[in-house]
Amino acid sequence: MEINNPAVLAEVEAAFAGYEAALMANDVDALQGYFWQSSLTIRYGGGENLYGYDEIGAFRAARSPVGLARTIDRTVITTYGQDFATAATLFYRESQPGKIGRQMQSWARMPEGWRVVAAHVSVIDS
């Protein structure tokens, strides 16, 4: 199994960038597009545990777009073989001084393209 095959890495980096852009725009439909449409998809968010694509979608739809802007830092994307990747990033929000956010995603290559199959977002004191 090859780690960080350049071609695979480029694909996941592009998908990650697209996800970040959608997050900043709070483009709910686009954000859902990046998640795997399955009941097996899980997102532990900053304040909620969401099981399945539909629960995640409901959360997105209800979320206030206020204060979502963030700066990301130390983004590390690693690919394993052709069909799996992890993406880890730190983030900072002006609305949360003194805190560091952490976002961890597992991406898998589905027939329809790269999709997040598991995600975890949390915040700790810096």
Footprint of another protein on this chain (CB under 8 A)? 7, 10-15, 17-19, 21-22, 25, 27, 29-30, 33-34, 37, 82, 109, 111-115
Cβ distance to another protein smaller for residue 30 or 123? 30
Cβ distance to another protein smaller for residue 35 or 91? 35
- The SS3 call for residue 30 is helix
Give me 57's structure tokens. Answer: 């979608």
Cβ distance to another protein smaller for residue 13 or 123? 13
- The SS3 call for residue 77 is strand
Query: Beta-carbon neighbour count of residue 48 at 10 Å?
Result: 12
C-beta of 25: minimal distance to another protein in Å? Answer: 6
Cβ distance to another protein smaller for residue 10 or 40? 10
C-beta of 39: minimal distance to another protein in Å? Answer: 16
C-beta of 32: minimal distance to another protein in Å? Answer: 9
C-beta of 11: minimal distance to another protein in Å? Answer: 4
Element (H, E) at 60: helix 53-62
Contacts by 83-91 with C-beta closer than 8 Å and gap 24+?
83/108, 83/109, 84/108, 84/109, 85/8, 85/9, 85/12, 85/114, 87/12, 87/16
